[in-house]
Structure 1
Amino acid sequence: MTSIVEQNTVAIPDLEKRPASRVGPSDEDEKRSVTESAVDSREGDEALKLVGRERQAHFSEEYNRRLRRKLDLWIPPLCAAVYFTQFLDKTSLNYASIMNFPITGQQNYNLISAAFYIGFLVWEFPTVYISQKLRLAKYLGVNVVLWGIVLMAHAAAPSFGAFFALRFLLGKFTTFVRMFESCVAPSLILIISMFYKKDEQASRISWFYVMNGLTSIFGGFVAYGISFYDGHRIAPYKILYLLLGGLAILVGICVLVWMPDSPVLAQLLTSEERIAALERVRDDQGGTENKRLKKEQVKEALMDVRTWLIVLTTMLTSIPNGGLSNFSNLIVKSFGYTSKQTLILSTPAGAIGAAMTLLCGWYSDKKGERMMPIVLALVPTIVGMAMLIGLNGHQGEKGALLFGTYLIGTFGSALSTVYAYNASNTSGHTKKVTINAMTLATFSVGNIIGTEIFLPKDAPAYIPGKIAIMVLLTAQLFICFLLRWINVRLNAKKRQHLEAERVRQGWTDAQMEKERERNAFLDLTDKQNIFFVYTT
């Protein structure tokens, strides 16, 4: 990439020896920044090692556009490949359930479904803090390869106990990927938040989260093709597990080779491009990474009411996800379709879900909104679920019932926007990983509960489970509006605080901008940093 740097020399400051700078209208004023006191450069972001506390280089808009294009062709595709295999692996049980799967009895099937999320829950908090100490992308790649191996081992599982253990391990290895899902999965969201500005993050997250919908199409067609095999030499579900496991191993190797750990360690960027990548995100005040676990940031995350509202909204989304991701094919089959027809007729739901994910990601960045796209994603699902409840027993309405199942696929985009919300509204690396861990732990708890809302005694219509989903998603609408209102209020208070500090310090516009730049990579939390702006 040709350099278009407006300031050609980039001075890298000696962070350990550099004295704290004074702020204010003159050196005689002896006024210090409210955020500078008690801040040691060693407590700050990894980015400080490369770009320092003050902006040393200015890059043209054209240069930044070309850099962003390079990132777009590199990072989101890798994230999408990871998410594609991860979600396909997670939902493999849904396909196997109608492909001569050896586990019989719905109670056993429910337990097998829940095992994935139990492993997910057990390993969630340890893995986010382990990842903070290690190189992010390398830890991710190792986990992807391991889950591919475990998935292939499903083909050799002889009994219920073996299947339960393997699903538990699959949840353990998959946990790290889903940690920033929001993340979206946590690791993927962390990577996106390091390289992209706030008004770019939701759309980039949607670019990999869209794999949820596309895997429904791909997996449906693959399972449909395998279903024609007579199973004389090997059971059809075993072919599915071997194929998907092998694909995961291949993707894991690609992650190990090409996925960047952070802008500071991005191997496919030049030294100048690494600096430009960091300067691009400086004004967002979100930082990149810090390897030290800060207890005060954990405490702040736990004391922040928005954290618990995000936990609640994740729970309200995850319970329906746990039920529908494992029982959607059984619901469609209950309309009177054969297994082969069910596999092929389920694929349009994936296309609708994918389209909604992209739409919500685009709208979220375009309008600077996070909560309204969630509302947009939930309403069609509520309508679709109402159709499935109201038309139950009307076999002449098979087409309308099938259309209802397509509508309920839209709610999946809500979780993508929750991940974007976390990425845009949380600063301080330890606080980020803590909130992401809580979000994904809640995701696993919700999915465990979700596997139990479709009970054997309610088959095949599962009316109580469908009513539960409709009520939960309706309640989530109110949580979204509450979170949006809180962030609007917080931004108003931030503006008042910043203006008061400006008057107290006697800052000019130039000094205000300089102070904003100096705060960007100090690993301050969103509450500590008066320059941080929340996305509604």
Structure 2
Amino acid sequence: MSSETSKDSDVPFEANVSCTIEADAATLDSRDGDEALKLVGTERTNHFSDEYNRALRRKLDWVIPPICALVYLNQYLDKTSLNYASIMDFPIQDQQYNLVAMAFYIGFLVWQFPTMYIAQKLPLGKYLGVNIMLWGVVLMLHAVPNTFGPFFLLRFLLGMLESCVAPIQILIVSMFYKKSELSSRIAWWYLMTGIASVVGGFIAYGVSYITNASITSYKILFLVFGAMAVAVGIVVFLWLPDSPVNAWMLTHEERIAAIERVRDDQGGTENHKIKKEHVVEALSDVRTWLIVAMTLMTSIPNGGLANFSNMIIKSFGYTTRQTLLLSTPSGIVAVIWLLIWSRYSDKTGERMLPIAFTVLPTIIGSAILIGLNGSGKKGALLFAIYIINCFGGSLSMIYAYNASNVSGHTKKTTVHSITLVAFSLGNIIGTETFQPKDAPSYIPGKISILVLLTAEFFLCFVVRWINIRKNEKKREVLSELKTQNGWSEEDLQKERERHGFMDLTDKRNPYFVYTS
């Protein structure tokens, strides 16, 4: 079957096993394949030792995860700045506060697909850097207005500009790292959501002591966080590589080695051509919608807790400054929990089991908050608040799941975008689960967290079973191809290597293996 047939046929490879899926290398290089083919071609001609590859990985680790971590730290600070402002004389209250909190996710939702398809046509690192600098300016402008309308608009714009962060960083990380390395590398920058809770809490605590009547403390907070974002945007623009093909910190030989390192994973690198058939496959893949459901189940609680957790702590009977300090340990607990399960994920090749175990503390924490509501048992209630944020790591592993289980650049872009659309929808819904009429206990919001994450726990095992079944079918197809063509194991490995950068989707590529 030619590459054109593979690309345009509506019949999945499982139903067409008589074909060998052989492709014309010249056609793939010029029209269909990844950018990586410009350096390495369709067949592996360069071999590097394990020691060389380990040294290369260490070199990548000093650049990519730290820069991505800086981005995520600032994104989470900027996104949750409203949470700190809410207890620092912020002028917008009650239902208008809910709407301002929601505006961020509306902008995030509206701009998710456009920003990712624009990004596919442009250098990823440069595009991300420009967006970060712009959102830093927008956040600093939060210090200007005092009425609902301008705040709503600014939060909407902030959501638009921040919507590209996670999908772009996932795409970049998946170009440079093997499947067995993805979960921990994504966790390295995603854990900044926990670190941001600590950093943000201490910065807000310090700012709360500024009593200059000419500028209120929440405005200073917006200015500080915004200036930090502009600085990080400059760093990203200058130093975050767009792909292994043109990574500034690698020699020509190291760029080739970086590409060859990920060849057998069949995930590919980048392709600037938007392919309709990839979009169709992403939309028709049942796993896409199961991931959407899981993302919603994670994001609805996130939308509530990201904007109302400080109000919940304050309702236990603490002052504003005590609340700002007492909110910080939850971030540390979330970081430790994520590190444990992301490492387990890469060591075992599992994705769904770690997600299931990540949400368990939140299920327990929400049950404690409901059961002990109004009891005055501050120690137990604080314990519940500290473990309730552990669920945030599940989204990191959902990102790692997508990076490990989807191939074909346009399909990856589409699935990442759909996942982030679900994220924004969930957060929009989440802000409305904590209604002013339910303050200060917010029992309906806490019940929604308990129910949703319990459902997500069980859904993990459904997705895991589907991927295991898909791998069994792929092994059957490969066995039949091997028999029909009289291939040896060496022949099969050569075919696997040739398909590594053809920009085939995971469904079309018989050599792609799913992680469970």
Q: What is the TM-score when the length of structure 2 is the normalising length?
A: 0.95
2:138 to 128, 143, 150: 150
The match for 2:203 is 222
The match for 1:66 is 55
Q: CA deviation at 1:156?
A: 0.9
Moved more, 32-41 or 427-436: 32-41
Decide whether the 8 Å contact of 2:269 with 2:501 is kept in 1: yes
User: How many pairs were matched up?
Assistant: 497
2:123 to 99, 124, 135: 135
Q: CA deviation at 1:32?
A: 7.3
Unaligned runs of 5+ in 2: 1-17
Q: CA deviation at 1:233?
A: 2.3
2:252 to 264, 271, 283: 271
1 CA distance for matches of 2:307 and 2:132? 22
The match for 1:28 is none
2 CA distance for matches of 1:200 and 1:294? 28
2 CA distance for matches of 1:40 and 1:213? 43
The match for 1:180 is none
Does structure 1 residue 529 correspond to structure 2 residue 509? yes
Q: CA deviation at 1:382?
A: 0.3
1 CA distance for matches of 2:23 and 2:465? 30
The match for 1:329 is 310
2 CA distance for matches of 1:229 and 1:300? 55
1:46 to 35, 40, 47: 35
In the TM superposition, 1:245-264 aligns within 5 A as 245-264=226-245
SS in 2 for 1:33: coil
Decide whether the 8 Å contact of 1:35 with 1:529 is kept in 2: no
Q: List, as ranges, runs of 4+ consecutive aligned residues in structure 1 with deviation greater than 4 Å.
A: none
In the TM superposition, 1:400-411 aligns within 5 A as 400-411=380-391
1:73-129 CA-partner distances (Å, limit 9, x unpaired)? 01100000011101110000000111111113x101000000000000000010111
The match for 1:213 is 194
Decide whether the 8 Å contact of 2:143 with 2:222 is kept in 1: yes
Q: Which amino acid aligns with 2:194?
A: G
The match for 1:108 is 96
The match for 1:196 is 177
Q: CA deviation at 1:357?
A: 1.5
Decide whether the 8 Å contact of 2:36 with 2:259 is kept in 1: yes
1:319 to 297, 300, 309: 300
Identity of matched residues, %: 63
Q: CA deviation at 1:35?
A: 4.5
SS in 1 for 2:245: helix
Q: Which amino acid aligns with 2:401?
A: Y
Does structure 1 residue 413 correspond to structure 2 residue 401? no
Does structure 1 residue 469 correspond to structure 2 residue 457? no
2 CA distance for matches of 1:505 and 1:148? 58
SS in 1 for 2:164: helix
SS in 2 for 1:263: coil
2 CA distance for matches of 1:82 and 1:462? 32
1 CA distance for matches of 2:284 and 2:341? 29
In the TM superposition, 1:238-249 aligns within 5 A as 238-249=219-230
Q: Tell me: CA distance 1:148–1:483, structure 2 relative to 1, closer, same or farther (3 Å).
A: same
Q: CA deviation at 1:159?
A: 1.4
Q: Which amino acid aligns with 1:359?
A: I
1:244-297 CA-partner distances (Å, limit 9, x unpaired)? 000000000001110100000101110000000000000100000111111111
Does structure 1 residue 90 correspond to structure 2 residue 71? no
Moved more, 194-203 or 351-360: 351-360
1 CA distance for matches of 2:435 and 2:496? 55
1 CA distance for matches of 2:438 and 2:146? 29
Q: Tell me: CA distance 1:68–1:458, structure 2 relative to 1, closer, same or farther (3 Å).
A: same
SS in 2 for 1:115: helix
Q: Tell me: CA distance 1:122–1:35, structure 2 relative to 1, closer, same or farther (3 Å).
A: farther
2 CA distance for matches of 1:33 and 1:48? 21
Decide whether the 8 Å contact of 2:107 with 2:159 is kept in 1: yes
2 CA distance for matches of 1:189 and 1:363? 19
1:311-358 CA-partner distances (Å, limit 9, x unpaired)? 000001000000000000000000111111000001000000111111
Decide whether the 8 Å contact of 1:426 with 1:432 is kept in 2: yes
The match for 2:69 is 80
Does structure 1 residue 34 correspond to structure 2 residue 14? no
1 CA distance for matches of 2:79 and 2:366? 23
1 CA distance for matches of 2:129 and 2:484? 49
The match for 1:495 is 475
Decide whether the 8 Å contact of 1:323 with 1:452 is kept in 2: yes
1:379 to 352, 355, 360: 360
Decide whether the 8 Å contact of 2:356 with 2:458 is kept in 1: no
Does structure 1 residue 172 correspond to structure 2 residue 152? no
Q: CA deviation at 1:40?
A: 3.2
The match for 1:479 is 459
2 CA distance for matches of 1:99 and 1:225? 12
Q: Which amino acid aligns with 1:275?
A: I
Q: What RMSD in Å do the two structures reach over aligned CA positions? A: 1.1
1 CA distance for matches of 2:337 and 2:139? 29
2:45 to 33, 36, 56: 56
The match for 2:271 is 290
Q: CA deviation at 1:466?
A: 0.5
1:110-159 CA-partner distances (Å, limit 9, x unpaired)? 00000000000000010111101111111000000000000000011231
Q: CA deviation at 1:427?
A: 0.3
1 CA distance for matches of 2:353 and 2:301? 20
SS in 1 for 2:265: coil
1 CA distance for matches of 2:152 and 2:353? 39
Decide whether the 8 Å contact of 1:35 with 1:528 is kept in 2: no
SS in 2 for 1:512: helix
Q: Which amino acid aligns with 1:294?
A: K
Q: CA deviation at 1:430?
A: 0.4
1:478-526 CA-partner distances (Å, limit 9, x unpaired)? 1110000000000000000000000011111111111110000000000
Unaligned runs of 5+ in 1: 1-30, 178-184
Q: Which amino acid aligns with 2:189?
A: F
Decide whether the 8 Å contact of 1:137 with 1:260 is kept in 2: yes
1 CA distance for matches of 2:359 and 2:104? 25
2 CA distance for matches of 1:373 and 1:434? 24
Q: Which amino acid aligns with 2:130?
A: V
1:24-60 CA-partner distances (Å, limit 9, x unpaired)? xxxxxxx973252796332011100110000011001
Q: What is the TM-score when the length of structure 1 is the normalising length?
A: 0.92
1 CA distance for matches of 2:301 and 2:116? 25
SS in 1 for 2:272: coil
